[in-house]
Amino acid sequence: AQSVTQLDSQVPVFEEAPVELRCNYSSSVSVYLFWYVQYPNQGLQLLLKYLSGSTLVKGINGFEAEFNKSQTSFHLRKPSVHISDTAEYFCAGIGSNYKLTFGKGTLLTVNP
């Protein structure tokens, strides 16, 4: 059973608009949650992580995510996107023995 689910495979938005990329996790992962970004033809880069503490996590490039235990969600947000944010975004979680599992990814396309 998939332990991390990204609800949207593609999200098109216009430049300077806000965006939310949705991620839900199951009980098979611990509450160590991550968002990674992959630009075209590149490897993966960590955007942000939630380990404990404040449920609002700030990451690089103006992104932030909110951990919601009651809704088992960890949605990624940015108030105003740029063309350069066009990339694929992956939500991930850690389970037992530090098994790191990814969602299927969300392709964010920012249009002018």
Of the candidates 19, 57, 76, 94, which one interacts with other proteins according to CB under 8 A? 94
What's the closest the beta carbon of residue 45 comes to other proteins, in angstroms? 8
Per-residue CA distances from 30 to 48, 51, 52, 90 (Å)? 16, 9, 11, 17
In this structure, the strands spanning 106-111 and 10-14 are parallel
Beta carbon nearer to other proteins, 69 or 104? 104
Stretch that binds other proteins, among 18-26, 58-66, 68-76, 96-104 (CB under 8 A): 96-104
Nearest to 102 by CA among 29, 48, 53, 20: 29
Spatial neighbors of 107 by CB under 8 A, at least 6 apart, are: 9, 10, 11, 87, 88, 89
Which residues in the 29-88 window bind other proteins by CB under 8 A? 32, 34, 43-44, 46, 49, 51
What's the closest the beta carbon of residue 61 comes to other proteins, in angstroms? 16
Of the candidates 73, 103, 108, 110, which one interacts with other proteins according to CB under 8 A? 103
Beta carbon nearer to other proteins, 42 or 70? 42
Radius of gyration of the chain (CA): 13
